[in-house]
Amino acid sequence: MPDYIQDPDNNKRVVPGPNQYHDRPTTPERFAFHKTPNAVLVNVANTSANGIGFFFGSSASFAEKITVYNNLQGEVPEQNTLLSASAPYVDFGQPAAGTILPIHPTAWSGSAADSVVFIYKGGPDGSGRP
């Protein structure tokens, strides 16, 4: 029970220890596959007419889409791990900067490289702590 300490008022009890877990924000690469975050923060207002898009599929479906769309563009799929075609992404429009979206995408597309931040919850079970 490493997350518990002896109760200072009763030596026969244990209480939750100090919060040692923190959320971890990361700026994910556009068009690349990532571990599913717990939430997404819109960091910069997207000025693109297309807005911000998110991909919610598995790594297998992501790889399949890379092959399909890169073949259409005449690229060699084995040399590309980025899915830059807009069709596979779900368009979320242009959310305001500071908006937190409770979604769990595996990839994103947008006009600015730092438009979104993926938030991963801290804690051994990934649920964060209050």
Indicate the domain borders of the chain: 34-120
Is 116:52 a contact under the CB 8 Å cutoff?
Answer: yes
CA pair distance 86, 31, nearest whole angstrom = 9
CA dist., res. 37 & res. 116, Å (int): 12
How much is the average pLDDT of 113-122? 86
Look at 66 and 56; give whichever has higher pLDDT. 56
pLDDT of the residue at 116: 92
- Does the pLDDT at position 77 exceed 60? no
Q: How far apart are the first and last CA of the chain?
A: 19
User: Which amino acid, one-letter code, is at 92?
Assistant: F
Q: Which of the pair, 123 or 6, is modelled with greater confidence? A: 6
Position 129 pLDDT exceeds 60: no
**pTM for this entry:** 0.74
Please tell me the predicted confidence (pLDDT) of residue 1: 42
